[in-house]
Chains A and B, each alone.
Chain A
Amino acid sequence: DAGITQSPRHKVTETGTPVTLRCHQTENHRYMYWYRQDPGHGLRLIHYSYGVKDTDKGEVSDGYSVSRSKTEDFLLTLESATSSQTSVYFCAISEASGRTYEQYFGPGTRLTVT
């Protein structure tokens, strides 16, 4: 199993509060991704990183920001959580970008915004 951990695994927060989710990898992979999984939508890319301090937006980036100050850590921040951000969040890593590189996923964080 790829060494990917996510913390916390579960979180309940109130609308309007800031939330930060952490992804940590021990594989030294260059690329890291944040997805959200919602019923009927599958996995949708929020943001991704292609190196330390190098990030870009994905399909559903509004309301989210990310930071990567070290190769092994990729943080996802919800500046002011809303109920529409209730979801399961997955971090993923890959050796490189491109179509043939499979992604390895973390165990997920279930976030509930009340």
Chain B
Amino acid sequence: DQQVKQNSPSLSVQEGRISILNCDYTNSMFDYFLWYKKYPAEGPTFLISISSIKDKNEDGRFTVFLNKSAKHLSLHIVPSQPGDSAVYFCAASGDNDMRFGAGTRLTVKP
């Protein structure tokens, strides 16, 4: 069973606009959430994270929002740049357990 779901396999946005990537989880024991970014032929790289005691975390153009009651998190990228084109994985972590979503492929068009 997939405990972490990214229901949009792909997303296309125009350069300069906002990209919103969504992630849902089912296990209420998860209390730390991460986003990883992956370029072709490379391994995933850590992007941003959020603890369950927060509802928002910002790092430059990247903001992650967490809605614990809905078991939902989202990654906002503003403004989107062509170099942001990649696959984004959401991950949820609990005690010695980390689960990843299937990924969303973001394409930012110039």
Q: Name A94's closest neighbour in chain B (CB-CB).
A: B98
Number of residues of chain A lying within 8 A (CB) of chain B: 23
Cβ–Cβ < 8 Å partners of A105 in chain B: 36, 43-45
Main secondary structure of the interface of B (DSSP, over half): strand
Q: Is the CB of A44 within 8 A of B100?
A: yes
Cβ–Cβ < 8 Å partners of B91 in chain A: 43
Measured CB to CB, the closest approach of chain B to A9, in angstroms, equals 9
Q: Does A104 contact B (CB under 8 A)?
A: yes
Q: Is the CB of B103 within 8 A of A42?
A: yes
Interface size class of B (residues with CB under 8 A): 20 to 34
Inter-chain CA distance A28–B103, complex, in Å, is 29
Q: Is the CB of A42 within 8 A of B94?
A: no
Measured CB to CB, the closest approach of chain A to B29, in angstroms, equals 10
Q: Does B96 contact A (CB under 8 A)?
A: yes
Q: Mark B86-102, 1 if CB is under 8 A from A, else 0.
A: 00010101111011111
Q: Does B107 contact A (CB under 8 A)?
A: no
Inter-chain CA distance A36–B44, complex, in Å, is 12
Binds B, one of A65-73, A75-83, A95-103: A95-103
Q: B6-52: which residues lie under 8 A (CB-CB) from chain A?
A: 6, 31-32, 34, 36, 41-46, 49, 51
Inter-chain CA distance A42–B34, complex, in Å, is 14
Given A97-B96, A99-B93, A99-B95, residue A42 in contact with residue B42 (CB < 8 A): no
Q: A1-55: which residues lie under 8 A (CB-CB) from chain B?
A: 4, 35, 39-45
Q: Is the CB of A45 within 8 A of B98?
A: yes
Q: A82-114: which residues lie under 8 A (CB-CB) from chain B?
A: 90, 92, 97-100, 102-108
What would 5 more interface pairs be, CB under 8 Å, given A42-B102, A99-B98?
A40-B102, A100-B51, A103-B46, A108-B42, A108-B43
The 5 closest A-B pairs by CB, nearest first: A105-B43, A99-B32, A99-B93, A43-B100, A42-B102
